[in-house]
Amino acid sequence: MPSAGPRQLMVSMYYPARPGTGGPAAYMTTEEARLLLQDRAPGSNIPPEELSGTRTWAHADARPARGRFPLVVLSPGFTFPRGMLTSLAEDLASRGYVVALADHTYEAPGITFPNGQTLTCAICERPPTGGFEAIARSRAKDLFFVIDQLTQRHPAWRYAHTIDPERSGAAGHSISGDATAMAMAADDRVRAGVDMDGSFQEANPAAGLHGRPFLLFGAEHEAPGMDASWRRGWANLNGWKRWLTITGSDHGTFTDLNVLSAQADRPVPSGAIPPVRGLEITRAYLGAFFDLQLKGIAQPLLDGPSPANPEVVFQQP
């Protein structure tokens, strides 16, 4: 869904679909793949066609299932293309959500628009005035711009009637986790939010959420998930909240990046969580969070440690 506004955005829509409809869905274009490999795996000699030919479970132009579904907006980290959150988007759609997976133009190695034009990253090497806080604020505006485009009287997406605008949430990886909190503070339509391993950039993070639920879901670093900005943010969260970390995880665990790297025969570091397992956990806990907060379905998984998921640690700051 290309959209006009302060800048052009590319948004992939995932939604519950009727079986047997639609055709194969592309993971990314060959040019997007080439630029991503150039940025993330220089000298790897991996053909871009191998990455762009990655198969997904989604089907393009499938007919939507009947009904109205909660909306979740997903946003990738800085220099990550939206394709890196495909596994998460597909899983949420399979659980009964409409998912808007947004790219942020000029902030990823390459973003291809329907006219075939591919725009490259303009600020990857040199962040703008205001630094990463400015990037997070810009992304927050992108998030509620996407919600506007999907829920206004004349929406930009032809299947927008499947969205229940009263049940909207957002999740962001890395800097987009901070942007999610900023978007919630600026727009009360975002009823629930998730920060996946992203530091808060502003001095008073997570203020202004007015009791709405927020999940901090982090990687294991020097001390498990102990981001100093999260400690400040945690104190400002006055609604339902959890702070979870995944043992053996890193920044890419919450995305498709580690799975793709393993498929390219890149070694998994000693002690690291297997890439597929990391994604399984990410999908399970984000699905549980949104099922609880947007559908009102009780989720014992979020009540405390689970024998089925010993890698997940409930932090008590």
Domains observed in the chain: 11-314 (3.40.50.1820)
Higher per-residue confidence, 274 vs 8: 274
Q: Are 32 and 118 in contact (CB under 8 A)?
A: yes
Q: At what angle do helices 175-186 and 131-151 cross, to 10 degrees?
A: 60
Q: Say how far apart CA 286 and CA 301 lie, in whole Å.
A: 11
Q: How confident is the model at residue 36 (pLDDT cuts 50, 70, 90)?
A: very high
Q: Are 231 and 317 in contact (CB under 8 A)?
A: yes
Nearest to 14 by CA among 150, 116, 172, 188: 150
Q: At what angle do helices 275-295 and 86-94 cross, to 10 degrees?
A: 40
What would the pLDDT profile of 88-139 be if each residue is shown by its tens digit?
A: 999 999 999 999 999 999 999 999 999 999 999 999 888 888 899 999 999 9
pTM of the model: 0.93
Q: How confident is the model at residue 209 (pLDDT cuts 50, 70, 90)?
A: confident
Instruction: Look at residue 208 and tell me whether its pLDDT is greater than 80.
Output: no
What percent of the chain is modeled with pLDDT above 70?
Answer: 94
Q: How far is CA 191 from each of CA 4, 201, 220, 238, 299, rounded to the nearest angstrom?
A: 25, 21, 27, 14, 17
Nearest to 195 by CA among 245, 145, 148: 245
Q: Say how far apart CA 53 and CA 46 lie, in whole Å.
A: 12
Tokens of 312: 């997940």
Instruction: Look at residue 144 and tell me whether its pLDDT is greater than 80.
Output: yes
Beta-strand ranges (E) seen in 176-270 are 190-196, 214-219, 241-246
Q: Are 16 and 64 in contact (CB under 8 A)?
A: yes
> What is the model's pLDDT at position 205?
58
SS3 284: helix
Tokens of 271: 């002690």
Residue identified by tokens 């939206």 is 82
